Chain A
Amino acid sequence: MKVRVDVMLKTGVLDPQGEAVRHALGSLGFEGVEGVRQGKVIELDVAQDTDEATIREMCEKLLANTVIESYAIHMG
């Protein structure tokens, strides 16, 4: 079973990489891009009976640093 975890910086945490991307889009002529946030997508291939609580534990223990990041789990 495929599970996707999206990890993003929490709202309010300054994202310097997202800001750099926003500036680059502006310099390419794309107007009106008011914000860019950059995160990561982690795809897991897990046993069929893996429950969401286990994935949540993976996120809390390793996949996300919950001091600065939030995560969203998408079960296959």
Chain B
Amino acid sequence: MKAAVIVFPGSNCDRDMAVAFERAGADVTMVWHKDTQLPDQIDIVGVPGGFSFGDYLRCGAIAAKSPISASLKAHAERGGYVLGVCNGFQVLAETGLLPGALMRNANLKFICKPVDLKVETSASDFTSGYAAGDVISVPVAHHDGNYSLDDDTLAMLRGEDRIAFSYVDNPNGSTADIAGVLSDNRRVLGMMPHPERAVDETHGGTGGVAMFRSLTDSLVSA
């Protein structure tokens, strides 16, 4: 599997994400946001966490208009895989690749702690290594993770089984406890919690390993 991880000014989980992909067996290329083209034959693009452009204007808004973002969008529209974590999820929502928006946490606080996530569907290459109903522990670290969407969009996501993860104990006010959502072709996943920070027992847990492994397995055989 060939993975690319985009680096924006202010990204700070880019190397963690690269390590998580590498440990699962992927070749990883880091891509600077000013590049206009992704490397050839990339299977999956990681959009990492951090504070791209200092969260100016709105979280992810300026990164979503970076030169590389047109290529990211084209990759997704061709059926390429994309994983957006934390600020990466905010970027994907701002590009329109995923529905909804991430707003300030309901309690207005920056939240940094491990949370329990319920796997809502195993029907995606991101979640096929889990069983629906599994509970995994993954850290969150965000100020703007309050996932907001209207009732019609929520009904659509539910109807299409596109909610990937939900919070067992909602930390940020997200609609319907949603922690991660899939695109309609199930190849773009955006989530606020950090699976790439949960791939090493000595660094606080391994709840995210199955995601990177199932991606590698699916995309190698593809």
A62 partner, pick from B65, B93, B106, B149, beta carbons under 8 A: B65
Q: Is the CB of A16 within 8 A of B61?
A: no
> Which residues in B have their C-beta under 8 angstroms from that of A46?
none
A13 an interface residue at 8 Å Cβ cutoff? Answer: yes
A interface residues, how many (CB within 8 angstroms): 11
Q: Which of B56-78 contact A (CB under 8 A)?
A: 57-58, 61-62, 65
Interface string of A1-30 (1 = CB under 8 A from B): 000000000000110110010000000000
B173 partner, pick from A16, A62, A67, beta carbons under 8 A: A16
Q: Is the CB of B108 within 8 A of A20?
A: yes
B25 an interface residue at 8 Å Cβ cutoff? Answer: no
Query: How would you classify the secondary structure of chain B's contact residues: helix, strand, loop or mixed?
Result: loop
Q: Is the CB of A61 within 8 A of B65?
A: yes
Distance (Å) between the CB of A4 and the closest chain B CB? Answer: 16
B interface residues, how many (CB within 8 angstroms): 20
B57 partner, pick from A14, A16, A17, A62, beta carbons under 8 A: A62
Q: Which residue of B lies closest to A10 (CB)?
A: B150
Given contacts A62-B57, A63-B57, A65-B94, are A16 and B104 in contact (CB under 8 A)?
yes
Q: Is the CB of A13 within 8 A of B146?
A: no
From B99, B104, B146, name the one whose CB has the most chain A CB atoms within 10 angstroms. Answer: B104
Given contacts A13-B148, A16-B173, are A65 and B65 in contact (CB under 8 A)?
no
Query: How would you classify the secondary structure of chain A's contact residues: helix, strand, loop or mixed?
Result: helix
A74 to B96 Cα, complex, angstroms: 27
Q: Is the CB of A68 within 8 A of B105?
A: no
Q: Which of B146-195 contact A (CB under 8 A)?
A: 146, 148-149, 173
Given contacts A62-B57, A65-B101, A68-B101, are A16 and B146 in contact (CB under 8 A)?
yes
Given contacts A62-B65, A65-B94, are A17 and B101 in contact (CB under 8 A)?
no
Given contacts A13-B148, A16-B173, A20-B108, are A62 and B61 in contact (CB under 8 A)?
yes
Q: Is the CB of B65 within 8 A of A68?
A: no
A14 to B215 Cα, complex, angstroms: 36
Interface string of B104-124 (1 = CB under 8 A from A): 111110000000000000000
**B interface, CB within 8 angstroms of A:** 57-58, 61-62, 65, 93-94, 99-101, 103-108, 146, 148-149, 173
Closest 5 CB pairs of A and B: A67-B101, A68-B101, A16-B106, A16-B104, A65-B101
**A interface, CB within 8 angstroms of B:** 13-14, 16-17, 20, 61-63, 65, 67-68
